[in-house]
């Protein structure tokens, strides 16, 4: 008997609702996406060069009911046919999280269905299993606007953090750099497009923390170095902007590759222990920055060198969406890990805390 779950995502500047189906006889995936509706707020936040929390929350309130109705209609099911309701409970902009969380609770209560409050990071961590069969364990690089982490995904709900960002996330660095160079919001796609016109060898930008053998990230110094370089070059031409974009993208790529390679070595060593030995090593990239083709190609190359299988979700499932929330909810529903209706919205919610649940 399959499990059909409605997912709701409102943690940042996308309002999303989706319906997915999980077959318990194939718990490692793939699942079936019956609908996946996303309402983007990019045009609202673009004039500010970043997400404005109050604007985001108000937009979620105005569209969430319509989007849930659309997702259910596109899935061609009735609400009563759902097996569970999942909603992001954090981490994220707490005003927005509250909108989706309260909507999910209301639906679960009125329909007398199980409710699952989903950790947004777990949604990203498990998305690849929605797309194709993938057994645990695997090494995950979660890289987005708000998060940059290397995590050993041992099992559903069992995570070990190898490294995380000490300041800015990679996606945040892209956004801030794009604003500095007048490339608009969101910054990642804008810089990737401009970088194709530039020379990544022109400027020597730093690669913070590389060479220490660790797995943590730092991007604030890189962003500062870019600002200093751009200031020294005033006035900046379009060619200069293209070169700066290419050099920034390459610096971020080099950091992600070097830290991932360090994590691969650690992950491989961990698998040599008799109780944890596996026959094949897997590396998964998730989060919005995973849609960057330059970064993705570089990570795939290092996987080949380190004998890791490379896995990444399609671009539309790398950015924030509700299908990943519905899938994470379905995985929890399958194992009986439900949430109480008094669950609070959480602006911060480390993935490691799920190990205690």
Alpha carbons 347 and 303: distance in angstroms, whole number? 33
Do domains 3-133+316-356 and 138-315 share one topology? The answer is yes
pLDDT value of residue 46: 83
Query: 276-286: b or e for each residue (b if 16 or more CB lie within 10 Å)?
Result: eeeeebbbbbb
Backbone angles phi, psi at 138, to 5 degrees: -155, 160
The pTM assigned to this predicted structure is 0.93
Measured in whole angstroms, the distance separating CA 174 from the mean position of its chain's CA atoms is 15
Superfamily, domain 3-133+316-356: ATPase, nucleotide binding domain (3.30.420.40)
Map out the domains of the chain as residue ranges: 3-133+316-356, 138-315
Query: What residue has token string 């079936």?
Result: 32
Superfamily, domain 138-315: ATPase, nucleotide binding domain (3.30.420.40)
pLDDT value of residue 357: 63
Q: Between vectors from CA 131 to CA 116 and to CA 100, what angle results, nearest 5°?
A: 30
Alpha-carbon distance values, 252 to 91, 205, 216, 224, 233 (Å): 24, 10, 13, 13, 21
Contacts of 275 (CB under 8 A, 6+ apart): none
Alpha carbons 203 and 248: distance in angstroms, whole number? 9
pLDDT in tens, 18-45: 999 999 999 999 999 999 999 999 889 8
pLDDT in tens, 279-327: 789 999 999 999 999 999 999 999 999 999 999 999 999 999 999 999 9
Q: What is the pLDDT along the chain (357 residues), one digit of tens a residue?
A: 899 999 999 999 999 999 999 999 999 999 999 999 999 998 898 888 788 989 999 999 999 999 999 999 999 999 999 999 999 999 999 999 999 999 999 999 999 999 999 999 999 999 999 999 999 999 999 998 888 999 999 988 899 999 999 999 999 999 999 998 999 888 999 999 999 999 999 999 999 999 999 999 999 899 899 999 988 888 889 999 999 999 999 999 999 999 999 999 999 998 877 666 677 899 999 999 999 999 999 999 999 999 999 999 999 999 999 999 999 999 999 999 999 999 999 999 988 888 866
């Amino acid at each position: 008997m399959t499990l059909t779950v409605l997912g709701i995502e409102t943690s940042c500047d996308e309002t999303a609702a989706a319906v997915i189906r999980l077959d318990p006889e194939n718990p490692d995936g793939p699942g079936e996406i019956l609908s996946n509706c996303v309402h983007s707020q990019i045009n609202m936040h673009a004039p500010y060069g970043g997400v404005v929390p109050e604007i985001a929350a108000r937009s979620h309130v105005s569209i969430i009911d319509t989007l849930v109705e659309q997702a259910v209609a596109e899935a061609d099911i009735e609400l009563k046919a759902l097996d569970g309701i999942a909603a992001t409970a954090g981490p994220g902009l707490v005003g927005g999280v509250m909108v989706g969380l309260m909507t999910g609770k209301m639906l679960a209560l009125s329909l007398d269905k199980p409710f699952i409050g989903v950790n947004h990071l777990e949604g990203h961590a498990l998305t690849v299993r929605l797309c194709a069969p993938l057994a645990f364990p695997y090494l995950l690089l979660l890289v987005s606007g708000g998060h940059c982490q290397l995590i050993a995904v041992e099992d559903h709900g069992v995570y070990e953090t190898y490294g995380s960002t000490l300041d800015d996330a990679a996606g945040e660095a892209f956004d801030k750099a794009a604003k500095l160079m007048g490339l608009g919001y969101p910054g990642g796609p804008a810089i990737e497009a401009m970088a194709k016109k530039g020379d990544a060898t022109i400027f020597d930008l730093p690669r913070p923390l590389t060479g220490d053998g660790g797995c943590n990230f730092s991007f604030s110094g890189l962003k500062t170095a870019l600002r200093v370089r751009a200031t020294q070059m005033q006035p900046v031409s379009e060619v200069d902007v293209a070169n700066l974009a290419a050099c920034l993208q390459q610096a971020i790529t080099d950091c992600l590759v070097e830290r991932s390679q360090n994590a691969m070595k650690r992950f491989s060593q961990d698998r040599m222990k008799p109780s944890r030995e596996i026959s094949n090593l897997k590396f998964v990239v998730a989060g919005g920055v995973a849609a960057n083709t330059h970064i993705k190609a570089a990570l795939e190359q290092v996987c080949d060198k380190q004998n890791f299988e490379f896995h990444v979700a399609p671009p539309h499932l790398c950015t924030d969406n509700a299908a990943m929330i519905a899938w994470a909810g379905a995985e929890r529903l399958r194992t009986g890990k439900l949430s109480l209706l008094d669950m609070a919205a959480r602006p911060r919610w480390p993935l490691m805390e799920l190990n205690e649940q």
